[in-house]
């Protein structure tokens, strides 16, 4: 608790510090490459015969996804707090790579905890992190995946609190993390809102984003929260279908998705009747986590946002559609959001607008997609 109290105080102070905010914005511009583009997906919209689809291009951000927006903000905060070391957790390796990237940029020591199962299936990202100067520490406990890596990162943080900041990768964990990560990701929605107004003269009818822990989606939704006419739609991982039990749809499967506490967050958690954390599955590693960011549970209770899911097959189909019709290779996570747009667009008028967050690029997923196509 003292560590969280210290972090919250430092964060509140930093956000009121003009020099801190200016440095963050300067690096977003000159290092991350913001603002990222908003692209009218003309051919895909025509092909679907309904709403106009616009893509917010987080795939064009440095290191290939939105994760750097948050990693950069937290690394700057760590420096401001006088910490010279950051620890991070990673599942697929994307947040580990973003953390290693900003640590190299700012001269911080970086240790990334990663389950040994994940290390075996994400070798290129393990190598990337090492190239960037980070130490990757294997975690051999539990299911040897993301949730076990988070346990170890938290242990390291509380043991080395004087020198170390825990750079958490999604809108999850104990307060102030969900708020802080949302704020650092809210640049996505602020830019997209201004860009769509400039390009079309009006707000979108619906905003769609995939939801793992919930950071890219909350980052998009936040700027539209007061625009009552803009529908907000989050897409979870439906895996092999809800009935199969192999999915990560915390809201999509009331039989196992119930209120619980995991890693300091009270929210919807996939669990068995005893409260043991359920195993999850998704073709996209970034959506494969048992809990959802608490602000999403709140938006859902309010009725402000709706949540649905896309299956592995629907995501793969969306992946190849976007490749062929727009010349964009999306991340498999982002493909879940595209899959929802593919379902909705044909039922909408031609002047309706769907804004889809393309959270990352798909280069990291080529092996997975190749294997899926081969199996088919």
By the 10 Å C-beta count (0-12 exposed, 13-18 middle, 19+ buried), 108 is classed as buried
Is the Cβ of residue 204 or residue 212 nearer to ligand PLP in the bound state?
212
89 given a catalytic annotation? yes
Which position among 213, 239, 257, 294 is part of the footprint of ligand PLP (CB under 6 A)? 213
The region of 132-140, 210-218, 251-259, 317-325 touching ligand PLP under the rule CB under 6 A is: 210-218
Examine residue 147 and tell whether it contacts ligand PLP (CB under 6 A). Answer: no
Which position among 359, 365, 368, 369 is part of the footprint of ligand PLP (CB under 6 A)? 359
Is the Cβ of residue 52 or residue 365 nearer to ligand PLP in the bound state?
365
Shortest approach of ligand PLP to residue 216 CB, angstroms? 3
CA distance to 4, 5, 112, 265, per residue, from 210 (Å): 28, 31, 24, 20
Number of chain positions touching ligand PLP (CB under 6 A): 19
Examine residue 214 and tell whether it contacts ligand PLP (CB under 6 A). Answer: yes
Q: Are 329 and 321 in contact (CB under 8 A)?
A: no
SS3 91: coil
215 given a catalytic annotation? no
Shortest approach of ligand PLP to residue 267 CB, angstroms? 13
The region of 99-107, 152-160, 209-217, 321-329 touching ligand PLP under the rule CB under 6 A is: 209-217
Nearest residue to 35 via CA among 73, 67, 66, 61: 61
Alpha-carbon span 374 to 361, nearest angstrom: 21
Alpha-carbon span 77 to 44, nearest angstrom: 41
Examine residue 360 and tell whether it contacts ligand PLP (CB under 6 A). Answer: yes
Examine residue 94 and tell whether it contacts ligand PLP (CB under 6 A). Answer: yes
Which position among 90, 170, 267, 282 is part of the footprint of ligand PLP (CB under 6 A)? 170
The region of 110-118, 206-214, 221-229, 237-245 touching ligand PLP under the rule CB under 6 A is: 206-214
Shortest approach of ligand PLP to residue 22 CB, angstroms? 26
SS (H, E, C) 106-162: HCCEEEEEEEHHHHHHCHHHHHHHHHCCCEEEEECCCCCCHHHHHHHHHHHHHHCCC
Cis peptide leading into 176, omega within 30 of 0? yes
SS3 234: strand
- Residue 321 has which token pair? 């559609």
- Residue 44 has which token pair? 């895909």
| Catalytic, out of 58, 63, 89, 170 | 89
Shortest approach of ligand PLP to residue 49 CB, angstroms? 28
- Residue 265 has which token pair? 């967050």
135 given a catalytic annotation? no
Alpha-carbon span 162 to 2, nearest angstrom: 11
Which position among 334, 339, 345, 348 is part of the footprint of ligand PLP (CB under 6 A)? 334
Site string for ligand PLP, 32-71 (x = CB under 6 A): ---------------------------------x-x----
The region of 23-31, 215-223, 238-246, 267-275 touching ligand PLP under the rule CB under 6 A is: 215-223
Q: What are phi and psi of 81, to 5 degrees?
A: -80, 0
Which position among 210, 269, 316, 338 is part of the footprint of ligand PLP (CB under 6 A)? 210
Is the Cβ of residue 54 or residue 221 nearer to ligand PLP in the bound state?
221
Alpha-carbon span 69 to 27, nearest angstrom: 10
Alpha-carbon span 270 to 168, nearest angstrom: 20
Catalytic residue annotation: 67, 89, 359
Residue numbers at the binding site for ligand PLP (CB under 6 A): 65, 67, 94, 170, 210-217, 286-287, 331, 333-334, 359-360
């Amino acid at each position: 608790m003292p560590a969280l109290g210290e972090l919250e105080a430092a964060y509140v102070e930093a956000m009121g510090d003009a020099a801190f905010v200016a440095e963050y914005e300067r690096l977003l511009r000159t290092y991350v490459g913001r603002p990222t583009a908003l692209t009218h997906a003309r051919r895909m919209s025509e092909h679907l015969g309904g709403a106009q689809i616009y893509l917010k291009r987080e795939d064009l951000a440095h290191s290939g996804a939105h994760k750097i927006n948050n990693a950069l903000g937290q690394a700057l905060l760590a420096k401001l707090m006088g910490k010279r070391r950051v620890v991070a957790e990673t599942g697929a390796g994307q947040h580990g790579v973003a953390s290693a990237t900003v640590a190299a940029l700012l001269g911080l020591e970086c240790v990334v905890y990663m389950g040994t199962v994940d290390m075996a299936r994400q070798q290129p990202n393990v190598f990337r992190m090492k190239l960037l100067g980070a130490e990757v520490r294997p975690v051999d406990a539990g299911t040897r995946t993301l949730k076990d890596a988070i346990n170890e990162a938290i242990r390291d943080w509380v043991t080395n609190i004087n020198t170390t900041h825990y750079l958490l990768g999604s809108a999850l964990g104990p307060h102030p993390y969900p708020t802080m990560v949302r704020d650092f990701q809210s640049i996505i929605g602020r830019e997209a809102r201004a860009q769509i107004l400039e390009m079309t003269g009006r707000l979108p009818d619906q905003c769609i984003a995939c939801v793992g822990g919930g950071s890219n989606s909350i980052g998009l939704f936040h700027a539209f929260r007061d625009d009552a006419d803009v529908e907000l739609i989050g897409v979870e991982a439906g895996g092999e279908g809800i009935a199969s039990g192999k999915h990560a749809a915390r809201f999509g499967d009331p039989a196992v998705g119930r209120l619980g506490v995991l890693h300091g967050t009270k929210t919807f958690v996939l669990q068995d009747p005893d409260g043991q954390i359920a195993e999850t599955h998704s073709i996209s590693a970034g959506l494969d986590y048992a809990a959802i960011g608490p602000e999403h549970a709140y938006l859902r209770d309010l009725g402000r946002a709706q949540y649905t899911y896309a299956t592995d097959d629907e995501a793969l189909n969306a992946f190849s559609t976007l490749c062929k019709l727009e010349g964009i290779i999306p991340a498999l996570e982002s493909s879940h959001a595209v899959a929802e747009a593919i379902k909705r667009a044909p039922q909408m008028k031609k002047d309706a607008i769907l804004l889809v967050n393309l959270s990352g690029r798909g280069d990291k997923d080529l092996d997975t997609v190749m294997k899926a196509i081969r199996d088919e």
